[in-house]
Every structure is written in C-alpha cells, then in structure tokens.
Structure 1
Amino acid sequence: MGFLDGLMGNASEVDIEKLERELEEVLIENEQIQSGYKVLRDSFVFTDKRLVLVDKQGMTGKKVEYHSIPYKSITHFSVETAGSFDMDSELKIWLSGSNEPIGKLFKKDSPIEEVQQTLATYVL
C-alpha cells in the first residue's frame, strides 16, 4: 500500500501470517484468519468467527483498541466497485442496533469481490 493511498483512506490486503503474529493474543483457540485489510495503521480482519477492527491510537500507536463484531450482529452489507471515474471501491457494514454503517474504502485494484465473498460466507 502506498502512503498516498493510506492518506486517501484506501485499504489494501495484509499478509495473513503477519496478522496472525500481531493478533496472537486476541484470537481464541482454533480461530482462523480468513483475510485482512489495512488503512494506514488501522486494520480490519475477517476470521472464521468474527470481524476484528484494530484501531491503533496516539502518536506511537502503542495504545490499541480491538473491536470484535460477531457475524450474527451484521444485519446487511454493501459493496460498491470502482468505475471509470470513481477511483475506489467501498464496503459498508450495518450492525444490529446501529443506524450508521461501518465504511471502508478500497483502492481500485483491491480485491473487493473477495471481501464480499468472505462476508457472504459468514453472514448469510
């Protein structure tokens, strides 16, 4: 992921082995990471049990919030692919009890279809 993409809020895919090392104390026994995406220092990770949002805070990023969302809490989601003039794709996830979706931008060549398939696998 380029620095400019990060500043623009675009997400890029992260290596699963790297995520496993970073989240080894967060994941439960037998929980498997399916895919993960990063925006600057923050990331969101799809496991076989939940969606984990990782929010690194402060100047150093040593303070980290891990937000776990069980797939059963996701009421619906949408994926918008990039077009000729629109340079990014977008993912929106709605949670039960919340009116506003969680939104993430992906650069044009990101695997947004894979994200949709991962969500569909665990939500539907």
Structure 2
Amino acid sequence: MGLLDGLLGNASENDAQEIQQDLTQVLAAGERVEKSYAVLRDLIVFTTKRLILVDKQGVTGKKREYLSIPYRSVERFSMETTGHFDLESELKIWVRGQAEPISKTFRNDKSIHDVARALAEYAL
C-alpha cells in the first residue's frame, strides 16, 4: 500500500502470508489468513474461521485492539458508495448482540467493493 493511499483512506489488499506471521499469537490452531485489507493503519482480516478487525492505536501503532467476529455472528452488512459531492464510502457490519453496527470509512469505491465482496464470500 502506498503512503498516499493510506493517508487518503483507501484500502489495499495485503499479503496474506505476511499477515499470517503477524497474527500467529492471535490465530487458532489450523486457522489461516485468507485475505487482508489495510485502511490507514488498521486491518480488516478474513480468516478461515472469522473476521478480525485490527485497530492500531497510539503514535507508533504498537498498541493494538483485536476485534474477533465469528462469521456466524454477522447478521447483515451494508455498503454506501461515493457520490458527486460525498467523497467517502462506508461499510457497516451488524453483529449479533450489538445494537450499533461497526462502521469503516473508505475514500475509494473500488476498495469498498473488494472488502464487501470478501465479506459476502465468507459471511454468507
């Protein structure tokens, strides 16, 4: 991912093997990273068993929050694309047991389409 893409909020696909190595302490036995997308410093990771949202915090990004969502817990999701004057697109994921959806903002329709397609492949 280029620095400019990251600053603009465009998601880009990461190397699954590299992310697999980064998440070895988080992944269950036999769990594999299938796809991974970076949005700014955060990650959206699709594994064989669940969706993992990695929120890198702090100045260095060393502190991280890992939100693990089993695919069976995804109730629905929506995608809002950009328009002429609205330059941001948004992905919302409703998870069983939570009233409010998880929301991720993108600045590129292609990026959000790629992530929504991956979510459809794994959650449906």
TM class by shorter chain equals: 0.7 to 0.9
Q: More displaced, 66-75 or 34-43?
A: 34-43
Q: Which residue of 2 is the match for residue 39 of structure 1?
A: 39
Contact 2:37–2:115 under 8 Å retained in 1: no
Contact 1:11–1:38 under 8 Å retained in 2: yes
Cα distance change, pair 107–34 in 1 and its aligned pair in 2 (3 A): farther
Q: CA deviation at 1:59?
A: 2.5
RMSD: 2.3
Q: Which residue of 2 is the match for residue 27 of structure 1?
A: 27
Q: More displaced, 5-14 or 64-73?
A: 5-14
1:68 paired with 2:68, answer yes
Aligned partner letter, 1:93? I
Secondary structure of the corresponding residue to residue 110 of structure 1? helix
Secondary structure of the corresponding residue to residue 105 of structure 1? strand
Contact 1:12–1:107 under 8 Å retained in 2: no
Q: CA deviation at 1:74?
A: 1.0
Q: Which residue of 1 is the match for residue 114 of structure 2?
A: 114
Secondary structure of the corresponding residue to residue 24 of structure 1? coil
For 1:91 and 1:64, how far apart are their aligned partners in 2?
21
Q: Deviations over 1:68-97 (max 9, x none)?
A: 111111111012233344333321101112
Aligned partner letter, 2:95? L
Secondary structure of the corresponding residue to residue 110 of structure 2? coil
Q: Unaligned regions of 5+ residues in structure 1, if any?
A: none
Contact 1:10–1:88 under 8 Å retained in 2: no
Q: Quick one: percent identity of the two aligned structures? A: 56
TM-score by length of 2: 0.80
Contact 2:90–2:104 under 8 Å retained in 1: yes
Contact 1:51–1:70 under 8 Å retained in 2: yes
Contact 2:10–2:111 under 8 Å retained in 1: no
For 2:114 and 2:10, how far apart are their aligned partners in 1?
16
Q: Unaligned regions of 5+ residues in structure 2, if any?
A: none
Q: Deviations over 1:3-24 (max 9, x none)?
A: 4554454433222222112112
